């Protein structure tokens, strides 16, 4: 079945450092890929998405490129801020001929802490 693997956390960075959170996936067909962010005490919010190979999703300075050849969707940000401290989840939604009903398969989450 479908699966998502994220890099082990937690990740601790200083403000303005470069961020990479690795995400690789296993899926049949042509999944859509997502990054969600969860701030303390809140639900998940969509950060960015990509629906086909070579698409780049971007939002709030974060970027991720859908790489079908390496089955990856790594999250990057050039300069993190304290306010970026949160848990980040990589997820995929399989298509499977249209019967996936948008169900998401999540990675285990990566805790990011940014210090001033």
Partner 1 sequence: NAGVTQTPKFRVLKTGQSMTLLCAQDMNHEYMYWYRQDPGMGLRLIHYSVGEGTTAKGEVPDGYNVSRLKKQNFLLGLESAAPSQTSVYFCASSPGKGNQPQHFGDGTRLSIL
Site residue total, partner 1 (CB under 8 A): 25
Closest CA to 13 of 5, 21, 3, 25: 21
Upper half-sphere CA count for residue 65 (Cβ side, 13 Å): 4
In the list 73, 75, 77, 93, the residue contacting partner 1 (rule: CB under 8 A) is 93
Site string for partner 1, 34-73 (x = CB under 8 A): x-x----xxxxxx--x-x----------------------
Residue 50: closest CA among 17, 69, 28, 72: 72
* Residue ranges that bind partner 1, judged by CB under 8 A: 4, 31-32, 34, 36, 41-46, 49, 51, 89, 93, 95, 100-104, 106-109
């Amino acid at each position: 079945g479908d699966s998502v693997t994220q890099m082990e956390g937690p990740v601790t960075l200083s403000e303005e450092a470069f961020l990479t959170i690795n995400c690789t996936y296993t899926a049949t067909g042509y999944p859509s890929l997502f990054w969600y962010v969860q701030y303390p005490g809140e639900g998940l919010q969509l950060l960015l998405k990509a629906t086909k190979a070579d698409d780049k999703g971007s939002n709030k300075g974060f970027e991720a490129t859908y790489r079908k050849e390496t089955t990856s969707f790594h999250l990057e940000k050039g300069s993190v801020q304290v306010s970026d401290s949160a848990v980040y989840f990589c997820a995929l939604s399989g298509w499977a001929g249209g019967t996936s009903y948008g169900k998401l398969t999540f990675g285990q989450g990566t805790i990011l802490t940014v210090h001033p």
